[in-house]
Structure 1
Amino acid sequence: MTAHRNFKQRVRARAAKTGESYTSALRHFRPTPTGEDMPEPFRIAVAQSTVHEDPTNSQLLRESGAEVRRLMREAAAAGARLVHFCEGAICFPSKRVMSSLGPDEIGPSDWTKADWPVLQDELDQITKLAQQLGIWTVIPSVHQLPGERPHNSMYVVSDKGQVVARYDERALSTTKVTWMYTPGAEAVTFDVDGLRFGLALGLDVLFPELFTEYDRLGADTVLVSYASTSGRNEHIGVQARGTAANNTCWISLAVTANPETGLVAGVTSPKGEWLAQAPEDGRPSIAVTDLQPSEWSQVGRTFRQRTRERIGS
């Protein structure tokens, strides 16, 4: 354990000095023949959970919050360092429920109808539990903006129970940007135990340039939260696998617990292979796997950076 700890300290010290991610700094070190210098794996849990569409219904908000906390406990019991939830894990507001003209006609969302106190209370309970369990928690939610439409956001809650980052969806659908939300403006990363994580939400998953940006920012893993309440959406899983392979990074895909969509939550390897997936029957559950930092993914990133400089992209 001492060898592992000393090795990680050396890698982290370089990362802090240079601004590199953990895996970027890792390439400057070589494991011993016995493997004693290999860094410890990072255990991650990704959730598929029930998605309700009515933020005016306090009972449904309470049910969603209770389910999130149950899955947090399962993730902590499995030894996960971080648990990642899908878009709409507490609520995925329907354009018809929120329409000021609806439900038969879609118009500007009337956010005064949402039960904001209950929503905030559920988030507060989640942050408190994150501290109690000592687990990092990435939980999407609607983020209220005074006098403006809210953001569709992801909160990053540390193992100390503090919200340390927030990402706002950028690639909003036509409905979202026209009637519902204020778009986000920038990429967001955060570091845990030397690994750098990026965040993507909703239709962000369809835009490769957003993941290229995270590649340039040194993200080792991108946490993608996506909600699907109807129709088949297997292509989202294909997109996640391709993005992982194109950027030699891990992708954690958190989705709705709904077997009719053809999607299940899972984590891909940097080669675009599923390392773990939740049950295909669509029941609320988690998938757990270990991320093992390696030099291989950094080789791909270095190659892409060098090539982009050469071709001027």
Structure 2
Amino acid sequence: MTAHRNFKQRVRARAAKTGESYTSALRHFRPTPTGEDMPETLRIAVAQTTVHEDPTNPTLLRQSGTEVRRLMREAAAAGARLVHFTEGAICFPSKRVMSSLGPDEVGPSDWTKADWTVLQDEVDQIVALSRELRIWTVLPTVHQLPDARPHNSMYVVSDQGKLVARYDERMLSTTKVTWMYTPGRDPVTFEVDGYRFGLALGLDVIFPEVFTEYDRLGTDGVLVSYCSNGVNRNEHIGIQARGIAAINTSWISLAVPANPGAGLDAGVINPRGEWAVQGPSDNTPAVVVTDVDRADISETGRSFRQRTRERVGS
């Protein structure tokens, strides 16, 4: 988006003028709370939840919302400042349930079948609880558009109960882009207590360029929401996420469903590509917490990558 391009140009201009690295120049533009000491670490929580696939069923939507709010309370009780949920946390609409030709034949999704009223009510309750608990919440959900297919999105809700950012999945699968969703266009970042995070959703996780872009934007971590519902043996997603963390010396939070067949648990990966914490291996719905520490991020590595990219013009 234009705002991101203009912002990056301002950072690069400062770096060129002062001789700073891109990352050092970026920190000059980061706002800091007036009169407050910035915390050295940030406690975050990542959840693995039950994922339902029928947005026409209000009972299932209510069940998902109830589970999300229960895990939000657990995260807040554990001292987390931010809680991160999987793709499909409220609902991961099935291509067959939504098909206008289905369920036996996949075709263009008929989104008028979705119970948008109940879905919005569940989101509203989650927003209100974020304010009550004073916790930031990153919640993937379907974002309705007036004259087009919806986005597959991630909402960022502040600890004041405000929707402060929305990310729309960009690297849509063939099914999603052909029959179901409108793709997103831009990276999105937000800050909590001086820590900057990027957002990635669905198949974004297998495209390294998504994370290279966030590296250039100076993020301390990327929150990745990925749904493995109905897919077995997804161990490679965890391996790829660990590689991304190590290559970009970045924290990665990976939120996935409580899907016993996937071979994949929710967790947080440190900038060395190691699991800092993982959800229960029996794939029960749960939330786990860890402290993110910027000291573990190699500024030397980031500066080197930035100088090299600028030298080769990439």
Say whether the fold is shared (TM-score over 0.5). Answer: yes
Residues 22 and 195, structure 1, Cα contact 8 Å, conserved in 2: no
* Residue in 2 that maps onto 1:32: none
**Counterpart-to-counterpart distance in 2, 1:219 and 1:229:** 29
1:210 CA displacement: 0.6
Superposed CA deviations along residues 254-305 of structure 1, whole A, max 9, x for unmatched, are 0010121000000000010000000010000011100111174211111100
Superposed CA deviations along residues 222-251 of structure 1, whole A, max 9, x for unmatched, are 000000112210000001100000100000
AA paired with 1:303?
F
* Residue in 2 that maps onto 1:83: 83
SS at match of 1:198: strand
AA paired with 2:220?
D
* Residue in 2 that maps onto 1:168: 168
- What is the RMSD computed on CA atoms of the aligned residues? 1.9
SS at match of 2:204: helix
Question: How has the CA–CA distance of structure 1 residues 22 and 168 changed in structure 2, closer, same or farther, with 3 Å as cutoff?
Answer: farther
SS at match of 1:76: helix
AA paired with 1:51?
V
Question: How has the CA–CA distance of structure 1 residues 296 and 123 changed in structure 2, closer, same or farther, with 3 Å as cutoff?
Answer: closer
Residues 23 and 294, structure 1, Cα contact 8 Å, conserved in 2: no
Residues 22 and 196, structure 1, Cα contact 8 Å, conserved in 2: no
Question: How has the CA–CA distance of structure 1 residues 23 and 88 changed in structure 2, closer, same or farther, with 3 Å as cutoff?
Answer: farther
Equivalent residues in 2 for 1:62-211, closer than 5 Å: 62-211=62-211
Does residue 257 in structure 1 map to residue 235 in structure 2? no
* Residue in 2 that maps onto 1:286: 287
**Counterpart-to-counterpart distance in 1, 2:229 and 2:40:** 38
Superposed CA deviations along residues 82-137 of structure 1, whole A, max 9, x for unmatched, are 00000000000000000000000000000000000000000000000000000000
SS at match of 1:179: helix
Residues 271 and 296, structure 2, Cα contact 8 Å, conserved in 1: no
Residues 23 and 295, structure 1, Cα contact 8 Å, conserved in 2: no
**Counterpart-to-counterpart distance in 2, 1:67 and 1:195:** 27
Superposed CA deviations along residues 43-84 of structure 1, whole A, max 9, x for unmatched, are 000000000000000000000000000000000000000000
**Counterpart-to-counterpart distance in 1, 2:130 and 2:23:** 24
1:147 CA displacement: 1.7
SS at match of 1:248: coil
* Residue in 2 that maps onto 1:31: none
The TM-score, its normalising length taken from structure 2, stands at 0.88
Residues 46 and 253, structure 2, Cα contact 8 Å, conserved in 1: yes
**Counterpart-to-counterpart distance in 1, 2:197 and 2:220:** 6
**Counterpart-to-counterpart distance in 1, 2:102 and 2:186:** 32
Question: How has the CA–CA distance of structure 1 residues 92 and 21 changed in structure 2, closer, same or farther, with 3 Å as cutoff?
Answer: farther
Aligned-residue sequence identity (percent) comes to: 73
Residues 224 and 252, structure 1, Cα contact 8 Å, conserved in 2: yes
SS at match of 2:289: strand
Does residue 274 in structure 1 map to residue 311 in structure 2? no
SS at match of 2:306: helix
**Counterpart-to-counterpart distance in 1, 2:161 and 2:207:** 32
Residues 23 and 303, structure 2, Cα contact 8 Å, conserved in 1: no
**Counterpart-to-counterpart distance in 2, 1:183 and 1:233:** 24
Does residue 224 in structure 1 map to residue 241 in structure 2? no
**Counterpart-to-counterpart distance in 2, 1:232 and 1:276:** 20
Question: How has the CA–CA distance of structure 1 residues 100 and 38 changed in structure 2, closer, same or farther, with 3 Å as cutoff?
Answer: closer
The TM-score, its normalising length taken from structure 1, stands at 0.88
Question: How has the CA–CA distance of structure 1 residues 298 and 23 changed in structure 2, closer, same or farther, with 3 Å as cutoff?
Answer: farther
**Counterpart-to-counterpart distance in 2, 1:22 and 1:288:** 29
SS at match of 1:261: coil
* Residue in 2 that maps onto 1:43: 43
**Counterpart-to-counterpart distance in 2, 1:237 and 1:85:** 16
**Any stretches of 5+ residues in structure 1 without a counterpart?**
1-14, 27-36
* Residue in 2 that maps onto 1:8: none
